């Protein structure tokens, strides 16, 4: 779901479906007349009028299918989650705390669908570009839903608590929060397409701190609208992970007070962060090709998985 969402954004397909129909929208156009009708709706959007005015119906189909698949996956996830949940609930196989957790996750999934449409709607008015803040919120909520599902699953599969020093638990919690900061700053980078600028590494066009970092007034606008500031923030989070994750890995493997499961989780996190940094560098240097951009976004889920696994193993 996250990878398809990334491809949808990178191929500029997200504004191809101009209506939100949670139920009847599951059926795509079939006949030529239906395709022409759907294309006619798209022709009324700012994106067609300002950017894709020479697009044919065949070109429209190419962007339509990515957005359609993204929405269809959302519906499928809802069904695959809800039906077993109701079944086990009716059979009284879920205790009350677990039932509330799973019900809360389902509600978050419904909110995610509504937030996705709220994001798309921002690009159907005047500027053919979705709000970077709504896009970031949509992406962050996707990661929150995944984190909730994975944490609940870990609690069911590995209920035993091994215990670890307080400092280690605190650092592991900090790493999870850093990963979420990486997601938030990455969402802003994608939202204003800051990856198309400062395509050098490790410096940003010869500077560690670019001189344009606070060029907008008032100053707080730089953190959501300034390409230099937004990309710098994302890089700072990456550098923090580059420093802290190896230190955490070294401490975990040297400490006799942690479980073997925590040691393997720390190793997995170290590898995932290394891959994520490499993907980020190549994505930046090559000016965000679709394949690398989608892989970078997808591997962020792997990084989060490993960070949560480590934190859970240190309970």
Nearest Cα to Cα of residue 310 among 200, 183, 170 = 170
Angle between helix 132-157 and 2-10 (nearest 10): 160
Find out whether 106 and 82 touch, Cβ atoms under 8 Å. Answer: yes
Q: Which of 167-171, 174-178, 206-210 has the lowest mean pLDDT?
A: 167-171
- Residue 132, Cβ neighbours under 10 Å: how many? 21
Mean per-residue pLDDT for 243-267?
92
Helix (H, G, I), strand (E, B) or coil at 204: strand
How confident is the model over 64-101, as pLDDT tens digits?
999 999 999 999 999 999 999 999 999 999 999 999 99
CA distance 152 to 254: 29
SS (H, E, C) 214-258: HCCCCHHHHHHHCHHHHHHHHHHHHHHHHHHHHHHHHHHHHCCCC
Closest CA to 193 of 281, 121, 288: 288
- Which token pair is 49? 């009028």
Q: What is the pLDDT of residue 258?
A: 84
Q: How much is the pLDDT for 96?
A: 95
pLDDT digits (tens, 9 = 90+) for 17-63: 999 887 767 889 999 999 999 999 999 999 999 999 999 999 999 99
Identify the H or E element spanning 271. helix 260-285
Question: Does 159 score more than 90 pLDDT?
Answer: no
Cα dihedral 177, 265, 162, 253 in deg (nearest 10): -110
* Nearest residue to 182 via CA among 279, 111, 253: 279
pLDDT (average), residues 202-212: 96
Question: What Cα–Cα distance (Å) separates residue 312 from each residue in 181, 252, 262, 273, 277?
Answer: 19, 14, 8, 18, 24
Identify the H or E element spanning 110: helix 96-121
What would the pLDDT profile of 54-64 be if each residue is shown by its tens digit? 999 999 999 99
pLDDT tens track for 257-280:
788 899 999 999 999 999 999 999
């Amino acid at each position: 779901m996250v990878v398809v969402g990334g491809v949808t954004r990178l191929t500029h397909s997200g504004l191809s479906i101009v209506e939100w129909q949670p139920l009847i929208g599951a059926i795509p156009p079939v006949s030529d007349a239906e395709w022409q009708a759907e294309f006619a709706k798209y022709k009324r959007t700012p994106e067609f009028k300002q950017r894709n005015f020479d697009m044919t119906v065949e070109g429209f189909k190419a962007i339509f299918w990515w957005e359609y698949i993204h929405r269809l996956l959302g519906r499928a996830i809802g069904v695959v989650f809800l039906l077993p949940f109701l079944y086990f609930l009716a059979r009284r196989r879920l205790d009350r705390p677990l039932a509330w957790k799973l019900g809360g996750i389902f509600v978050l999934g419904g909110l995610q669908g509504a937030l996705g449409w709220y994001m798309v709607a921002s690009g159907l008015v005047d500027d053919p570009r979705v709000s970077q803040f709504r896009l970031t919120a949509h992406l962050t909520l996707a990661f929150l839903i995944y984190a909730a599902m994975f944490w609940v699953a870990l609690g069911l599969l590995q209920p035993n608590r091994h215990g670890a020093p307080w400092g280690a638990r605190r650092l592991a919690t900090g790493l999870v929060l850093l990963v979420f900061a990486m997601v938030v700053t990455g969402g802003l980078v994608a939202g204003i397409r800051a990856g198309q600028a400062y395509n050098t590494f490790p410096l940003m066009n010869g500077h560690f701190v670019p001189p344009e970092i606070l060029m907008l007034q008032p100053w707080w606008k730089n953190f959501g609208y300034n390409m230099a500031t937004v990309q710098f923030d994302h890089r700072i989070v990456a550098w923090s992970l580059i420093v802290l994750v190896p230190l955490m890995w070294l401490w975990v493997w040297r400490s006799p007070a942690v479980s073997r499961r925590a040691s393997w989780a720390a190793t997995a996190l170290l590898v995932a962060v290394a891959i994520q940094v490499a993907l980020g560098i190549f994505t930046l240097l090559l000016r965000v090709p679709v394949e690398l951009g989608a892989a970078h976004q997808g591997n962020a889920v792997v990084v989060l998985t490993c960070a949560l696994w480590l934190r859970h193993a240190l309970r």
